[in-house]
Structure formats: structure tokens, C-alpha cells
Amino acid sequence: MQEQEEAIVELIQANPYISRKEIARQLDIHESSVKRRLASLQERNVIRRVGAAKGGYWQVIK
């Protein structure tokens, strides 16, 4: 896993309800980069989204 992906997983573990916008702000990277990293993590079954886009939360699988 890349350094940014590890940081994203840590943020999700700390707050499963965190938004892409908040992740981007905390890591000082563009929101589109966060979107790509989240998609990559989901493809590799590291995280998954539970519930709707709004009101749902992230779950760390590994």
C-alpha cells in the first residue's frame, strides 16, 4: 500500500463517517486523488462503503 493509502485507512479507522473532502483537507491532496485512492482500496478489498453515499460510512476490512 502507498503512503497516502495508509494515511487514508488510518483516517477511516479514526472516523468511519469521514468524507472525501475532509480526507483531502487533512492530507493536503486533491479530492480527485482521494477518490482514486478510495477506489483502489475498495478494488483490493481493504475498505468498503456501507450504506448510501450520504449517511453511509467506511469499513476497514483488512
Give me the CATH number covering residue 43: 1.10.10.10
Q: What is the model's pLDDT at position 54?
A: 86
Residue pair 35/41 in contact (Cβ under 8 Å)? The answer is no
Q: What is the model's pLDDT at position 43?
A: 97
Dist. CA 29–CA 15, nearest whole Å? 18
Q: Average pLDDT of each block of 10 consecutive residues along the chain (62 residues)?
A: 93 97 97 97 97 92 84
Q: Hey, what's the cell of 33?
A: 486523488
Which 3 state secondary structure label does DSSP give 46?
A: coil
Dist. CA 38–CA 8, nearest whole Å? 8
Q: What is the model's pLDDT at position 30?
A: 96
Q: What is the model's pLDDT at position 61?
A: 94
Overall number of domains in the chain: 1
Write out the residue range of the structural domain in which residue 11 sits. Answer: 3-60
